[in-house]
Amino acid sequence: MGFRASWIAVEGMSEDALLRQLRRKRTGESEAEHYDPGMVVLRRQPWTILFGDGSDHFMEIGADDAAACSAEHRVLFLSLNDTAMQSELRCFEHGVEVWSVVKNAGEPRPPAVTGSAPASLAAILARLKGEQAGQGDVDYWYEAPAELAKVLTGFRHDSPESDGGFHGVMRA
């Protein structure tokens, strides 16, 4: 089983503006902590994050949504599927992908990196290389996109924190 989640983080955009951009609306439900699958919007200053958690919601947010929000903002897109052992983090600016870190399923090996990923990725990969050493089929490299996303935004899908709660979202 495991996590199936995706999210986009938009730097410097309000929650309401992000929801309008992606044709979503608030459900009126809010929670201080997020435990159950669903679609929520939250803040991790200076980021606004739309988080689709669970098999019914993670496919509702895609890289195309991130690109659409990036005309005037830096946008990160994270998608992961623990069952398939696939994870990716992509950065968009001015409607274009500028870098990515993608870990596809298969043998344990480092993720593919395109563009100029943040320098903090090197330390993450060095740590994961040490954890991976001698572990055979266990794939620690899978964590690289989520680890980098946490460094950049302060948000991680499996230990979510918010600057003001999690607010339920649905399609408008």
> Which pLDDT value is given to residue 32?
86
User: If you write DSSP's letter for every residue of 33-62 in order, what string do you get?
Assistant: S--SSEEEEEEETTEEEEEEESTTTGGGS-
Q: Which residue shows structure tokens 């994270």?
A: 78
Q: At what angle do helices 144-153 and 120-132 cross, to 10 degrees?
A: 140
Cα–Cα distance between 119 and 156 in angstroms, integer? 19
What does the chain come to in residues?
A: 172
- Structural domain containing residue 146: 4-171
Measure Cα distances from 51 to 83, 107, 114, 132, 166 in Å. 19, 28, 24, 29, 9
Look at the chain and report how many structural domains it folds into.
1
pLDDT tens string for the chain (172 positions)? 578 899 999 999 999 999 999 999 999 999 888 877 789 999 999 999 999 988 888 889 999 999 999 999 999 999 999 888 899 999 999 999 999 999 998 777 899 999 999 999 999 999 999 998 887 778 899 999 999 999 999 998 888 777 888 888 988 7
> Is residue 76 a contact partner of residue 9, using CB atoms and an 8 Å limit?
yes
Which two three-digit tokens encode residue 165? 């709660």
Report d(CA 79, CA 6) in Å as an integer.
Answer: 4
pTM, rounded to two decimals:
0.93
Q: State the number of CA atoms in the 13 A half-sphere of 62 facing the CB.
A: 3
Greatest alpha-carbon span in the chain: 49
